[in-house]
Structure 1
Amino acid sequence: MDTELLKTFLEVSRTRHFGRAAEALYLTQSAVSFRIRQLENQLGVSLFTRHRNNIRLTTAGEKLRPYADALMSTWAQAKKDVALALQHHELSVGASTALWEGYLTNWLKSLYTEYDELHIEARVAQRHLLVKQIHERQLDLLITTEAPKMDELASQPIGSLNLALFRSKNSIEGEKNRYIKVEWGADFQYHDEYLAEINDSYLLTTTSANIARELLGSTNSCAFLPDYWDQRYPDLIKVENSPLIPRTLYAVWLQNSDHLQELKQLIDVPVSIS
């Protein structure tokens, strides 16, 4: 549907006069008449009755008018939103729940300190879904601990993190801790190693580090969490003799992305806990 035809229809229905509608639209009267005939041919109905200078909407014309108003309003909003998106270059950034909770929220704060005009959509999903969204150009940037090895994707280290095994200070001293498995990536092998040591299975699997932290005390459990969280949460304590696990964070994007210049701004700001 040509929106100019609807625009002309609405102007004629408002003025009830082809000449005045032509003046308002900066068209000739014959051009207005031609557009109305085009619209009538497309719809297969007459939209106006014409008796000398007395122009009235037909029943079909009355039915069309609210739809034409709604379509023109929607089209105007669409043009506005598209222009706004082009103006502000909204970028979508995706990562797992645990990474957002432990590290990337602070990174966003750093980004907005550096570039206060950024418009970012922060997405939370599992890594394989986010990789798919990048391929489909629904996501601009992925932050992950596992850089996909695909020719069409580019990646770059953007920071590092350390994970430590925590329990609650309220845990029963001397009693064996159960285990909560926080999803830190498919290549995180320390779950199985720890479970083998305690000869037990995990109590819960979750993508949220905060959920695991909340449950440690009430379930007498332990979990791998960001190593600085004992400074943030006084109720946490590191399990004695447990390993400190270093992980590299990667930024991943399409090599032929339409927003390479804007993505470089994000990638140049390292991920840190401060």
Structure 2
Amino acid sequence: MDIDRARTFLEIVHTGSFLKAAERLHVTQTTVSARIRMLEEELGRRLFVRNRNGARLTSAGVEFERFAQMFVQVWERARQQLAVPSGKTGVVSLAAELSLWNPLLVEWMAGIRAGEPRLAVRAHVGVPDQLVEELRTGTLDVALLYSPQLLPGFEVEPLIEERLVLVRATARGPVPGSLSASPSGSPEEYVYVDWGPAFSAQHGAQSASFGEAGTFVGFGPLGLAYLLRAGGTGYFRRGMVTPFIEEGKLELVESAPSFTYPAFAVYPEDSKRRREVHSALAILRKYLASEAADQASLGSLAL
């Protein structure tokens, strides 16, 4: 089976449209149609039913999807393994969404270097939809995600359950050399940080408690930097703001509700059998267990 035909098939499944698949693959719709026609001829089965709303899978197409997925993933793994750097025995491809790269992805990479020095690592940061797509096509082995989609054939392993807490910037004076002589926002301006659909749903039920947001931010570290610079209140991961609370730059709004914010490792079910992925996941779990033990120790000391 031709790899381009398999990729095209999966892209149509993902987008629900021959036209959208052509746009994402940067080919013409005629090329997409030709690839699917040849694939159907090879298999002797019709895979899609086309209609005005796009395309839907036939029963044969539903059965074929998992095989196409495996084929593309195996191809990508073979391509990656053939490109293993000299002196290394294997390679693992990792990624995290923006709010998870620091410290989790950084510590994970450092742990692999210390525990599996002959394992090469390819790592990057991306938005959730992009990372899920890379998992689906086999270009990525493991993704660290908040609120991941439940995909057939993929493991979704809980890692940590952080809490989003409301913090307030403490009073501060003018910043020398800044664009304004005083902070640009009121200390009580509410800064809404988009932590994803789950947070939005939880937050919406409590929205009257926070007042109308004056600033909307789609990236947690950017929102925190703005809050520290301009003042105000906003929701952030507890681990992210703890150092600033200890320094006196932020204070916890004790009366405000907090929200759960769990993180997960997502990877293909069969990838656990690969030595590289198995070793990498074991190192990640060991790091998280150590962190949990440290937090428990600090909690007992505080009591």
Instruction: Tell me the TM-score range normalised by the shorter chain.
Output: 0.5 to 0.7
Distance 1:230 1:135, change over 3 A: closer
Distance 1:210 1:224, change over 3 A: same
**CA–CA separation in structure 2 for the residues paired with 1:97 and 1:121:** 16
Deviation at 1:260, TM superposition (A): 2.9
**CA–CA separation in structure 2 for the residues paired with 1:199 and 1:82:** 54
1:195/1:202 contact within 8 Å kept = no
**CA–CA separation in structure 2 for the residues paired with 1:116 and 1:168:** 42
Residue 82 of structure 1 pairs with residue 93 of structure 2: no
* Other structure's SS at 2:262 match: strand
Residue 152 of structure 1 pairs with residue 166 of structure 2: no
Corresponding residue of 2:127: 126
Q: 1:206 aligns with which of 205, 218, 230?
A: 218
Deviation at 1:158, TM superposition (A): 2.5
* Other structure's SS at 1:203 match: strand
Deviation at 1:85, TM superposition (A): 7.5
**CA deviation profile, 1:201-243 (whole Å, cap 9, x unmatched):** 3502222x22111111333222222213444232222123123
* Other structure's SS at 2:223 match: helix
Letter of the 1:260 counterpart? R
Deviation at 1:142, TM superposition (A): 1.0
* Other structure's SS at 1:116 match: coil
Deviation at 1:176, TM superposition (A): 2.9
1:159/1:250 contact within 8 Å kept = yes
Residue 254 of structure 1 pairs with residue 268 of structure 2: yes
Corresponding residue of 1:180: 192
Corresponding residue of 2:230: 219
* Other structure's SS at 2:131 match: helix
Residue 228 of structure 1 pairs with residue 239 of structure 2: yes
**CA–CA separation in structure 2 for the residues paired with 1:252 and 1:90:** 17
Letter of the 2:212 counterpart? D
1:166/1:225 contact within 8 Å kept = yes
Counterparts in 2 of 1:1-274, with a 5 A limit?
82-84=83-85, 87-101=88-102, 103-170=104-171, 176-181=188-193, 183-188=194-199, 189-207=201-219, 209-233=220-244, 234=247, 235-257=249-271, 260-268=274-282, 269-270=284-285, 271=288, 272=291
Q: Where is the helix percentage greater, Structure 1 or Structure 2?
A: 2
Which ranges of 4 or more aligned residues in structure 1 deviate by more than 4 Å? Answer: none
**CA–CA separation in structure 2 for the residues paired with 1:103 and 1:162:** 15
Distance 1:162 1:110, change over 3 A: farther
**CA deviation profile, 1:132-184 (whole Å, cap 9, x unmatched):** 11111111111112242221212222333232222222369x95332131x43
**CA–CA separation in structure 1 for the residues paired with 2:119 and 2:138:** 19
**CA–CA separation in structure 1 for the residues paired with 2:123 and 2:84:** 21
2:84/2:90 contact within 8 Å kept = no
**CA–CA separation in structure 1 for the residues paired with 2:132 and 2:275:** 20
**CA deviation profile, 1:2-42 (whole Å, cap 9, x unmatched):** xxxxxxxxxxxxxxxxxxxxxxxxxxxxxxxxxxxxxxxxx
Could you tell me which runs of 5 or more consecutive residues in structure 2 were left unpaired when the two chains were aligned: 1-78, 173-182, 295-303
Letter of the 2:277 counterpart? L
Kindly tell me the number of residue pairs found equivalent between the two proteins.
195
1:166/1:224 contact within 8 Å kept = yes
1:170/1:217 contact within 8 Å kept = no
**CA–CA separation in structure 1 for the residues paired with 2:126 and 2:84:** 28
Corresponding residue of 1:48: none
* Other structure's SS at 1:199 match: coil
